[in-house]
Amino acid sequence: MIIVTRLNGQEFALNPDLIERADCTPDTVITLVDGTKYLVSESLSDVTRLIREYRALVIAEAQRAIPPTNTPTLTAVDDAAPQTVVPLHRRER
């Protein structure tokens, strides 16, 4: 979530994944995918910076949550081996 400020000074959290667009008219208007609009005191560049920082944080947290593994590398299937595809309805049981 990003924290933005209404024009009356109240802060609120907004899910940036639901933002469809942000316009500067001259106040910044954030429009969500469901059509909800929010008028915020942050500039358009501040809103885009907050979104970038949020997404970078999500990626960093995901990288930290996945421990490195020492799994062997997958090898390709031998292309020389003949393979047959049998449709499900024609399979013998």
Give pLDDT, residue 65: 80
Count of domains for the chain: 1
Distance CA 61, CA 93 (A): 48
Q: Cα-Cα-Cα-Cα dihedral of 51, 57, 59, 62, to 10°?
A: -140
pLDDT (tens, 9 = 90+) of the chain, 93 residues, equals 999 999 999 999 999 999 999 999 999 999 999 999 999 999 999 999 999 999 999 999 988 887 766 655 555 665 566 656 656 665 555
What's 57's DSSP letter? H
Give pLDDT, residue 42: 97
The answer to whether residue 7 sits within a structural domain is yes
Which of 36, 16, 38, 18 is closest to 28 using CA atoms?
A: 38
Give pLDDT, residue 84: 63
Domain residue limits at 12: 1-42
Give pLDDT, residue 70: 64
Q: Which amino acid is at 66?
A: I
Give pLDDT, residue 8: 96
